[in-house]
Amino acid sequence: MPSELYDAARVDGAGPLREFFAVTLPGLRGQVAVVVTLTVLGAIRVFDIVWLTTRGGPGTSTITPTIVLYQRAFANPDVGAAAAIGVVLAIVSLIVALVVVRLSEDDK
């Protein structure tokens, strides 16, 4: 961030919190959008850690959509349901990415 922006905010009477929300956060909008997109999509698609540690248990407390997809495709061969879950996951991931990109665009 250019230091002139912070100087102008201080001249206008902004404190540290106001500087953060008025100068720093808008300046990091693109980076925040990338981080939010990758984090949300990673949370939607998590499989390996959950499968290796708990296999969705105890009970169904750590079941994720990707574990259901895996179980439907390989444990109980219901390939049609697994394909439907995969398509829904892809659509949800696309919608999340589009929403984050739309919210992160500059209003210029």
Cis peptide preceding 2, ω within 30 of 0: no
pLDDT (0 to 100) of residue 106 = 65
Mean pLDDT rounded to a whole number for the chain: 86
pLDDT at 108 over 70: no
What is the rounded average pLDDT of the residues 37-65? Answer: 85
Buried b (16+ CB within 10 A) or exposed e, 34-72: eebbeebbeeebeeeebbeeeebeeeeebebbbbbbbbb
pTM above 0.95, yes or no: no
Q: pLDDT per residue over 57-97, tens digit each?
A: 888 888 888 898 999 999 888 999 999 999 999 998 899 88
pLDDT (0 to 100) of residue 36 = 84
